Amino acid sequence: MFRSFFHWKVFANLLLAIAVFIGLVWLTFRWLEFHTNHGDEIPVPNVVNMTVQQAIEVLDDQGLEYEVDSFKFDPKFRPYQVLQIFPSPGSRVKDGRTIVLKVNPKTYAPVTIPDIIDGYKGLAFRKLERLELKVGDTIYEPNIQKDAVIRMMYNGAVIKPGAKVPMFSTIDLVIGTGPKRNVTIPNLVGMTVAQAKVVIAQNLFEVGLVDHQDGGKDNNDIVYYQDPAMGSVRDQGMQIDLWASKKTPAEMQSKIRELDEMYRPKIEISSPPVEDFSEPTEEPATPAPAPQKQPAVKVEEKTVAKKTTETKPTEVKPVEKKPAKKVIVE
C-alpha cells in the first residue's frame, strides 16, 4: 500500500493539484486587487462646518459617496451645517466609499403625540413635558372617567395619538369630571334601539342587555321595555337594559306584564300598629255648676216637755269618834 502511495504518478498528481490551488488563490487576490483598487486610497476631505451642499460638491469631486444624517437640532449652529463626518477627516478610504455627514437640521424634529387617552391626567402631563410639549388649557367636561384624559386639542382641533407636531407645541387637554349621582333615568320606550343608545350615551349611562324579540340585531326595532324604569334614580355609568321588537309597545302588553312581574314585583308591606308613646294631655277642668237655691221650708217646732227625774240626795251619817285610850307607864 505504501509503495503505491509513493509511486511517481501519484506524486506527480499531488504536485499538480497543489500548483492549481496556488494558482487559483493568486488569481483571486489579483481579481480583488483590481476590483477594489487595493493600494489606491483617497484621504477623506475635511468638510466640517461647511453647508451640506458645499460638502456634497467636495465629496463628488473626490469620487466619494455620501449619506446625510439629520442630527439633533442645535440652535447654536446654522441650519444645514455639517457638524461631524465618518470616517473622520484625513482617514484614507477606497474610491467610492460612503461618507456619513451629520448635519444640523433646519429646526427641531417634529414630536410624535403619545397615547395618553383614558390615562390619568398627572401621568399625561409628565409624558408631554418629557417630549418638550407644553400643556395648555385643561378643560373639564362630564364623563364617567374621573380625572382621565378624554381628548387632546392642538390649535383648536382634535389631535390623535401618533400625529406629528413641532417641538414646544402647546397641547390642550379635556378631562373627565367623573359620574354624577342620583341622575334620573330617561324614558326610552317607543324609541328605536339606535335612538335609545344615543340617549343613553348622552346621559352618561352604559348600554346593557339588548334583547330583540326575533333574536336579531336590528337597531330599528322599537324599545317596548327598559330596566331600570323611567324616572328611577341611578348613578351615571350604570347599565340600562333594553327589550325591543318590531311591534309597538301597545301590542306587547302581555310581555310587558311578564317583565314587570320579573323586574318590578309588587311587594305589599303591612305596617305594625304604632304605639302611642306621647304624654297624656290634661283635659281642662270644667267648672262645677253653681248650686241652685231651694226655697226655705218652715218647720214648726214642737216643744217637747222633758221629764226631769229628780234624785234625792243620800244622807251621810257622821262617824262617831271613839275616845282614845290612855296608857300609863310606870
Q: What is the pLDDT of residues 146-202, one digit of tens each?
A: 999 999 999 999 999 999 999 999 999 999 998 888 999 999 999 999 999 999 999
- Confidence at residue 137, expressed as pLDDT on a 0 to 100 scale: 94
Cα–Cα distance measured from residue 125 to residue 303, given in angstroms and rounded to the nearest whole number: 130
41-103: CATH topology is Trypsin Inhibitor V; Chain A (3.30.10)
Q: What is the pTM of this model?
A: 0.50
Q: How does pLDDT run across 37-93, given as a tens digit for each residue?
A: 555 688 899 999 999 999 999 999 888 898 998 878 888 999 999 999 999 898 888
- Confidence at residue 276, expressed as pLDDT on a 0 to 100 scale: 56
Q: Which CATH architecture has domain 183-263?
A: 2-Layer Sandwich (3.30)
Tabulate helix, strand, coil % of the chain (nearest 5).
25, 25, 50
- Confidence at residue 144, expressed as pLDDT on a 0 to 100 scale: 86
- Confidence at residue 149, expressed as pLDDT on a 0 to 100 scale: 96
* Residue 190 contacts residue 139 (beta carbons within 8 Å): no
Categorize the per-residue pLDDT at 307 as very low, low, confident or very high, splitting at 50, 70 and 90: very low
* Residue 101 contacts residue 55 (beta carbons within 8 Å): yes
Location of each CATH 3.30.10.20 domain in the chain? 41-103, 111-176, 183-263
Residue 298 has pLDDT above 60, yes or no: no
Q: Which of 36, 82, 35 minimizes the C-alpha distance to 59?
A: 82
**Best CATH choice for the domain 111-176 from the list 1.10.10.10, 3.40.50.800, 1.20.1250.20, 3.30.10.20:** 3.30.10.20
